[in-house]
Amino acid sequence: MHIEPATEATARGAADVLTEAFVDDPVYGYLLEGADRRRRLDRFFLGVVRTALGPGGVVDLALDEDRTVLGAAVWSRHPAPPAARLRNLREGWRMPLALRPRGVVHLRTYLRRTAPYRTPGPHWSLDDIGVSAAGRGRGVGGALIRHRLALIDEQRAIVDLDSTTRGSRRLYARYGFRVAGPAGTEAAPEATIMVRTPPEG
């Protein structure tokens, strides 16, 4: 297994693995309520991945020897550099379309409720991480997280994320993330915002 940044050519594979990973996720279940969820989730993640390929983010891919995509992680910089705005407009339209008006309202509600726990100053976010069903529990997710944190630590930057399940919270805690506040809904009571400050030294 090795890790490399996704490109336009591999964006589709990254979106596919994220869709597979999040199809039963409780928070995405709340955001993408209603029929035809898998197809909408796929459109949503294609928007997420293609937006993050621009100057405001990065997508890391974990690949098998035969280049099968095992996992993907989407990271973004805050505040986004001005050059990212055009990319967001060009690629980000897929997200509201996938969410539909009801999902956009749910997303706004979720972001408003979790805003007090998010990092106010410059920081990185781990927006989404997913490993294929067959690849889970074998260290792929951990490898993706370690890989990018090593680079972010060179910038001494804070990182935050939304943890949607108790299992993922355990994984993030291993890499120094601490719970900053609750993010749960009725459908996803375990969801939390987590923050990691760069290690000393």
> 25 vs 91, which CB is nearer to ligand COA?
25
Where along the sequence are the contacts to ligand COA (CB under 6 A)? 21-22, 25, 129-131, 136-142, 163-165, 167-168, 170-171
Q: How far is the CB of 68 from ligand COA (least distance, A)?
A: 14
- Closest distance of CB 136 from ligand COA, Å: 4
Residue 131: CB minimum distance to ligand COA, A: 4
Residue nearest to ligand COA (CB): 141
Nearer residue to ligand COA within complex by CB, 170 or 178:
170
Q: CA 152 to CA 176: how far, in whole Å?
A: 13
- Rounded to whole angstroms, the Cα distance separating 21 from 17 reads 6
Contacts with 39 (C-beta within 8 Å, 6 or more apart), sequence order: none
The nearer residue to ligand COA, 84 or 159, going by C-beta atoms, is: 159
DSSP the chain: -EEEE--GGGHHHHHHHHHHHHTT-HHHHHHT-SSSHHHHHHHHHHHHHHHHTSTTEEEEEEE-TT--EEEEEEEEEESPPTTHHHHHHHHTTHHHHHHHHHHHHHHHHHHHHHGGGS--SSEEEEEEEEE-GGGTTSSHHHHHHHHHHHHHHHTT-EEEEEE-SHHHHHHHHHTT-EEEEE---SS-TT-EEEEEPPPP-
CB of 137 to ligand COA, least distance (A): 4
Residue placing its CB nearer to ligand COA in the complex, 90 or 146 = 146
Q: How far is the CB of 192 from ligand COA (least distance, A)?
A: 9
Q: Give the residue with the Cβ less far from ligand COA, 55 or 190.
A: 190
Residue 25: CB minimum distance to ligand COA, A: 6
Interatomic CA distance for residues 49 and 157, integer angstroms: 22
- Select 98 or 193, whichever has its Cβ closest to ligand COA: 193
